[in-house]
Structure 1
């Protein structure tokens, strides 16, 4: 066999090797997703069963199966366990999973949008706007005519108003740049946080002030079977799917505007679409759970370390890790000082602050 024949043989084999490598990577990625999904489902069962009143996993399955599928038909468990699992803990766990996943994927989108690895969903001031709306509802009865969901509606309207304010200020000459968006979000966030603090001090209600402070640190205690829970879950599923489908656009935007233009992506237009999508999603999350920090900052970095920076792969991984992480954080919040409950933001901050310090040190070391 001559040299030319050898070259042709190698050239013919190389595509097959590439296909085998791609197939192997896809298989490893699918196995990783299945493993994360299994851990998440196990965490759901543990979170529903653990608490001040422990419920065995078998009872958890029986109660959920009875309410969803009618099987088992015969009730052999205590009524108290039925109420704890179905009415109290399961809605809370579903809300916590949705909020954790939503904060994680919106954090990843924001970091690509502003090309800053220290960005999180509260960068846009949406969190502060939601807190201001909630404070107005709790302390001064804003939206009292909206019924039992007045707090969530007021918080969402506040978050939406903050998003619109950031958009109007950051948009100049028809364009929104990452730097302008970053600075505007920080400024609006601080201004609204100051307004929330003023509302607390202007109120004569000590109980209302404590409720607002608890809200500012995050809570899942408002979870129950109702339309808001369905809205949160649907919003998170929709945003996660869209960001996964837009993975290549996010990759291009994260590299730079010039690269995005080269690949056929309009940075200004796509950044505007992301701003609207993330703002609405974070507004829904804040309206249902208050201010829960660090999840949108920490989890995207963990996802990238696991599967790399490709957003099409990293977004689903971030959603599963974020959901699992927040469930364990909530479990710690309601059991560490049981029967007293801690705001969940304290737990996420205790985990996230050391991670942020490590990340800053690594970024500093990489720039030297």
Structure 2
């Protein structure tokens, strides 16, 4: 069932309002002279009043033309011997509309011309028409009408500008929300890739080693299975932590240690023991106030580099070197594998490591070694970090 549509009757708008204003203006202009002395109004006078009143109907379409027509009609009627009347109201409506629609220069020029003509007509001859008080009253009244029209235009312009700025602010806010959403999705994807990708690759390598040594060396196969168990538990913990952040559930804070450079020994121990061995060398002492962003970025870079070694290089030995200095941390991950492969060169691994380094104002270079193998070298400054 459809509800009846209610039409707005009052106040009238559009052409209905124009017709109503024209009718009221015609009554205001023509009735007082007709009542005062209708016999003293010539046919030309009636025609001039009718033309001036009818011109009001077109004031919004042609404000400048209507203003000029009503000024001319008012001048002709007031200079004629016909009975005086308020025909100047039509000129006031015209110049008000001219000012309210933004034709300020034309309105000021025509208003000044009308005031000057009034003063000239009053004081340019011996005949007294309005008198001193009447001339001043007319000038003040006309200036007031013009000022009101200008104020209306400024108010409308202000409201339009406010609406435009609000619409622009809404668009900017939507774009900002969209940008932040994309950045957050990319950050989550990078975290999942760095954390789970490494762990799953490690599980795959250790599982292959366990299958290969199951019959020949059961002891090493059992160690590989133990590593798989620990790695799978860590992967589940990483996944639960990430999903908990996405769901925004009110759970207790995770108790697992955060990834940082001080835990590289654990990372290296889990990565080694399969088809390739990993050695860790640390030069220097980490500063007491190592920036958290640098700490996390360094850990993830080493983690991803080891993941690439396990996936693509076929290396037997990998060396991880960490050098601490007063102003930077340098990471070097080198292997003796077959070097860069197409999948390693165009994948998201090296790109992710480069973004990690760039997020803290550092740089990363990855490529084949002169003597064979592949090397990743990252320099992470310890100064003020940039926004990722």
Q: TM-score, normalised by structure 2?
A: 0.24
- RCO (CA 8 Å, sep 6+): is it higher in 1 or 2? 1
Larger fraction in strand: 2
Higher Cα Rg, which structure: 2
